[in-house]
Amino acid sequence: MTAGIDLGRPQAQAIRSDEDVVRVRQLVRAVAVAVKLSLVDQTKLVTAASELARNTLVYGGGGDVEVTIVDNGVRRGVRIVFADSGPGIADLDLALTDGYTTGGGLGLGLSGARRLVDEFDIQTAVGEGTRITVTKWSR
């Protein structure tokens, strides 16, 4: 166990407040360290998780995240699933375009997060919410 984290099973965290976004970052960092991701890859994963957790809160109205250690037989990694029951993303292609923002920010959230991880999958439906799965593998 790492700081109260049972690495043998997925770790869940609700995202309902700014404090929860901080908790997601801390959880992801702890799991990334346990998997022995490089410092650069830890930073990339935590940055992506922070962006996606914030999007879950701001655009999805809150949701949940699950962090899991994965193993593909060659290397270990961290898989993170963000899920909300918010309004969904009406135009996914537009939302994944660099520079696009509905929140007045830099517009690097989804597209930036996608570049920071090794695997990125998004499922969304208007009125049904959004589910984003990201994975970062050890090198």
CA neighbor of 73 nearest in space, from 7, 137, 6: 137
Per-residue pLDDT, 98: 77
Task: Tell me which residue of 123, 124, 121, 125 sits closest to 133, measured CA to CA.
Answer: 121
Q: What is the pLDDT of residue 97?
A: 83
Q: Per-residue pLDDT for the chain (139 aa), expressed as one digit of tens each?
A: 455 566 678 999 999 999 999 999 999 999 999 999 999 999 999 999 999 999 999 999 999 999 999 999 999 999 999 999 999 999 888 888 877 776 655 556 899 899 999 999 999 999 999 999 999 999 8
pLDDT at 99: 73
User: Considering the domain 11-137, what is its CATH architecture?
Assistant: 2-Layer Sandwich (3.30)
How many residues are there in the chain?
A: 139
Note the pTM of the prediction, 2 decimals: 0.91
The pLDDT, as a whole number, for residue 1 is 43
pLDDT at site 96: 86
Question: Exposed (0-12), middle (13-18) or buried (19+): which is 121, by Cβ within 10 Å?
Answer: exposed
- Gap between the Cα atoms of 32 and 138, Å rounded: 9
| CA nearest to 79, candidates 133, 29, 7 | 133
